[in-house]
Amino acid sequence: MANPVLRQMIEARDFVAAPGVYDLISALIADRMGFKALYVTGYGTVASCFGLPDAGLATYTQMIEQIGRIAELAKTPVIADADTGYGGLLNVRHTVRGYEKAGVSAIQIEDQEFPKKCGHTPNRRVVPLADMVRKVRVASDSRSSADFLIIARTDARTSLGLDEALRRGEAYGEAGADIVFIESPESEEELAMIASRIGKPLIANMVNGGRTPMLPAQRLAELGYAAAIFPVIGFLAAAHALRQAYADLKENGETTARAPMYSFAEFNELIGFKDVWEFERRYAETE
């Protein structure tokens, strides 16, 4: 079930900065670092599991399997991307119930047409406002606990302009969303305008190399945001490190100090071998 701590932090305006995680290794590392929440990124999860772009190609069943493993593993509250809810209203109800049962603390649903695309890529189209309002109502009504938060995202800014995005954000908040997410504002001034207009807690999306300027958590809190996700930080850092390490091996025929790495001992501890060895010491058969 949902961790009530996330709702308490949002209501208390205790700013939440959530790093993106996309597999069990990234979740293990981030979970130990004292963040207030973790964000399971759809982009990173689809890339990691299937080697495919975030373009509506992964199904609910494929995503919930990985998201559920991360939520079960993490002690930190988990926010999870659910794309468009994976279909119509009945699909949204099924998705909300599945994510809540899996232990997620907040679900993010967006108003793009299917197949959806990453929010910082071009050619995104949104459904009619009334259709998304119904989805938000269904999502809100389908949860079993108020501790399970509904994040309603609009992608209207890029294709229809900021005024339409603001109109949608207000409507989604009125329909029952706990947190409003206006994707891809293009300046700090737009971020501030959003915060001045929307009466619900807000979440900002800080994508390295994306359409929105990168602002530190402190500045976003000053503007009035309740939370920010940093979805790409993990897999971009991991991809860079992997390329550096593999290039080092290819060039030198061995690993050198040019490619810094986790030590094998540290990784054994991270992944849980300490418990395995303790178990073996305690229960190993003796002659």
Looking from the CA of 93 toward its CB, the CA atoms found within 13 Å total 7
**Residue showing tokens 């530190």:** 216
Closest by alpha carbon to 104, among 137, 134, 135, 82? 82
Q: For the segment 4-56, what is each residue's pLDDT rounded down to a tens digit?
A: 999 999 999 999 999 999 999 999 999 999 999 999 999 999 999 999 998 88
CATH architecture of 4-232: Alpha-Beta Barrel (3.20)
What is the strand order of the sheet 106-110 is part of?
Answer: 179-182, 149-154, 106-110, 78-81, 38-40, 16-21, 227-230, 203-205
Please check the confidence at residue 155 and state whether its pLDDT lies above 90. yes
**Residue showing tokens 């659910």:** 82
Domains of the chain, residue spans: 4-232, 239-283
Q: For the segment 82-97, what is each residue's pLDDT rounded down to a tens digit?
A: 999 999 999 999 999 9
Q: State the sign of the Cα–Cα–Cα–Cα dihedral 206, 21, 26, 100.
A: positive
Instruction: Please answer whether residues 97 and 142 qualify as being in contact, where contact means their C-beta atoms are separated by less than 8 angstroms.
Output: yes
231 CA to centre of own chain: 6
